[in-house]
Amino acid sequence: GKDLNIIAKKSTCEGMQKPAEHQSTKAKQDSQEEDFEHIPVPPLIIPEEVSPSVLVVDLYSTNDVIVRYVGANYSGAQESMEEKMKDWYSRNASVSQIQSPKVGQLVAALAEEDAWLRAKIISTEGNRIKVCYVDYGFNEIIENSRVYKLAKQFYRLPFQASKCKLAGLEAFDDDPILVKMVESQTCGKIFAVEILEKSDVPRIILYDTSGDDDININATCLKVLQDKSLELHLQVDALYTDVRVTNVCSDGTLYCQVPSKGLTRLFEILRKLENYFHHRQATGYSIALPFCGMICLLHYKGKWARVEIISVHSSRTLDVRFMDTGTVASVKVLELIEIPSIFLREIIAIPSQAIKCCLADLPLNISMWTPDAVLWLRDTVLNCPDCSMKVVKLDKQIAHIYLFTPKNFPDPDRSINRQITSADLWKHQKDVFLNVPLTNLPGRRETDLPIQSSLGPKQSSTDTVPHILESRKVETNVNMPPTLPLLQSREQMDVFVALACHPGYFILQSWQEMHKLEMLMEEMLLYYNTTEDGAVSVEKNKIYAAKVKNKWHRVLIKGLLANGLVTVYELDYGKHELICIQNIRPLVDMFRQLPFQAITAQLAVESARSCCFH
């Protein structure tokens, strides 16, 4: 389409088209030119698709963003209309010119590059008039000789410019730094949009989907309000003490808190919050509409914590990332509260205090560590308040470090890196070899040789490995759920078709039991996403819980592959999936009460016409 937003903007376009759901019925201008024929323009209907595309045309504040929807019935129809306007007015301009333009009149305007656009007259002054281009959302002052009567056929398309506001940025709509940041990141670009509310002025989230990962533009722009004086810039070869490891991920990466000005400021504001809510009910700040990228508060283990919503599963459950520990957990929406307005700017200004790290000289570019290695690391360093670390490399938002516990600092031979390398914790993953030379380890002697992973029978662990690992292994429970009752021949039931491969094989679910299954899935999500990983003995033809595409399912293990992958059968949905073995957990008794919901079925040829599935 034509990139007409380069014309200098004056102010928000008056009379901006509203979505059909809440379009106002403002009285039309009474003063119309005698030959001006009033024809109603249909309202703009917000697309029904989940993530429609929009072109950001202009921005006046974060609560006043002008967009145009992209698609055949929107931008495509507009371009086609403007081509027809250009052709029609090239042949009929002389008979269509308006002699006395009136405020509120809908006209055809001759814009730059001989483009013909629909416009509404905002004001008149002598031989110059101010118009709003109703399909683009911006104003321009032009000569009155450039406006013409709008022909009947050009009233059919709804005005394409739509006013929106960016979710999560409403409180800072007049901040010049934020507005400038949003403008530079969005104007003239196409984004996928999530529409949170189809209201008079819809609340939206913009996503840049051009790269490998979808980028939440709202959340990205909000970071410009962070206080740069509170940022911590790690230095290579620097030594940091009083380090606290707050999270150990299943791939061996760590999140640490390092003493800094920002961390001190965080503790101060959290103490203020504690005092604030000590005198009032937090329930008054319940979140009505959660969305990805939203920063809010969670009372966890007796303390307030900053969290960012990273995934919304349903109206009841969602995933959050603790901004200052790096932990990810599933919580109920009711557990979250909005940040009180008097603290909002202060809390937003503090950068995340969780620093992502990895242990230097240990494999980083592998899918997962073994459960034993992760458990050992967690037992050794997690929440130890007085660790120390030396930074040896910085790249792509991750720090390569040597980590020390208090009693071992600064002995290089007793660093966590050296201890975990020397321990026999890698045998369960046969594609992992610790053959990276420890060349950067301080004080390394030539006799210090890297240990290669053992592929044979398990040897006794070294003294540095806690013996509790074996005792923490959990065997799967043998209790089976009750059998799903099936109907007798010729009886009928309401079902949902979950999977259809061919007439001889498809999967049904009982319609009456679907609500129970949805509740079970949510409870599994909350349980397993807030439970630490454990070492699990995985056996073929046994039942487990498994994480598949960010959801937890009840599964049957069908096969174990040598590369750390397993094939599973979803007992409630009838699908076969290939997942990483680290996504397997024991299926606890509380999730064994509901019968497995997948019903294998085939069409009966003789009675196919008489059977009806709903």
Q: State pLDDT tens for residues 504-521.
A: 788 888 888 888 998 899
Between residues 81 and 412, the one the model is more confident about: 81
Tokens of 169: 């940025």
Confidence of residue 406 (pLDDT cuts 50, 70, 90): confident
Residues 135 and 216 in one domain: no
Q: Smallest Cα–Cα separation from 244: which of 226, 227, 273, 267?
A: 267
pLDDT above 50: residue 122: yes
The answer to whether residue 594 sits within a structural domain is yes
Residues 125 and 147 in one domain: yes
Residues 90 and 118 in one domain: yes
pLDDT of residue 419: 87
402 burial type by CB count under 10 A (0-12 exposed, 13-18 middle, 19+ buried): buried
Q: Calculate mean pLDDT across residues 3-26.
A: 46
Residues 218 and 270 in one domain: no
Between residues 268 and 5, the one the model is more confident about: 268
Residue pair 574/484 in contact (Cβ under 8 Å)? The answer is no
Rounded to two decimals, the pTM is 0.73
Residue pair 587/477 in contact (Cβ under 8 Å)? The answer is yes
The answer to whether residue 432 sits within a structural domain is no
| Residue entry with tokens 């400021």 | 265
Q: State pLDDT tens for residues 549-594.
A: 889 999 999 988 877 789 999 999 999 999 888 889 999 999 999 9
The answer to whether residue 214 sits within a structural domain is yes
378: three-class secondary structure by DSSP: helix
The answer to whether residue 16 sits within a structural domain is no
125: three-class secondary structure by DSSP: strand
Domain boundary among 295, 327, 352: 352
Beta strands of 527-607 (E only): which ranges?
Answer: 543-548, 551-560, 565-570, 576-580, 584-586, 599-601
Residue pair 554/587 in contact (Cβ under 8 Å)? The answer is yes
Beta bridge pairs of residue 117 = 109
Residues 566 and 508 in one domain: yes
pLDDT above 80: residue 128: yes
Domain boundary among 132, 159, 186: 159
Residues 571 and 513 in one domain: yes
* CA 406, chain centre distance (Å): 38
Other beta carbons within 10 angstroms of residue 113's beta carbon come to 6
| Residue 253 per-residue DSSP state | -
Least confident of 1-10, 34-43, 328-337: 1-10
Residue pair 207/52 in contact (Cβ under 8 Å)? The answer is no
The answer to whether residue 335 sits within a structural domain is yes
Domain boundary among 114, 131, 159: 159
The angle that helices 341-349 and 261-278 make with each other, rounded to 10 degrees, is: 160
What are the start-end ranges of the H helices in 59-190? 75-96, 176-186
Least confident of 223-227, 261-265, 346-350, 432-436: 432-436
Q: State pLDDT tens for residues 338-356.
A: 999 999 999 999 999 999 9
Residue pair 107/150 in contact (Cβ under 8 Å)? The answer is yes
What CATH number does the domain containing 309 carry?
A: 2.30.30.140
Residues 181 and 274 in one domain: no
Residues 110 and 197 in one domain: no
Q: How many domains does the chain have?
A: 4
pLDDT above 60: residue 393: yes
The whole domain housing 146 covers 75-159
The answer to whether residue 142 sits within a structural domain is yes
Q: What percent of the chain has pLDDT over 70?
A: 82
User: CA 544, 549, 553: angle at the middle one, nearest 5?
Assistant: 25
Confidence of residue 450 (pLDDT cuts 50, 70, 90): very low
Tokens of 464: 């540095």
The answer to whether residue 499 sits within a structural domain is yes
Tokens of 46: 């917000």
Residue pair 359/401 in contact (Cβ under 8 Å)? The answer is yes
Q: Which helix (H) or strand (E) holds 441?
A: none
Concatenated DSSP letters of 513-533: GHHHHHHHHHHHHHHHTTS--
The answer to whether residue 299 sits within a structural domain is yes
Spatial neighbors of 123 by CB under 8 A, at least 6 apart, are 103, 129, 130
User: What is the distance between the alpha carbons of residues 421 and 280, in angstroms, rounded to a whole number?
Assistant: 51
In angstroms, the Cα distances linking 221 to 59, 168, 169, 341, 462 are: 14, 10, 9, 19, 49
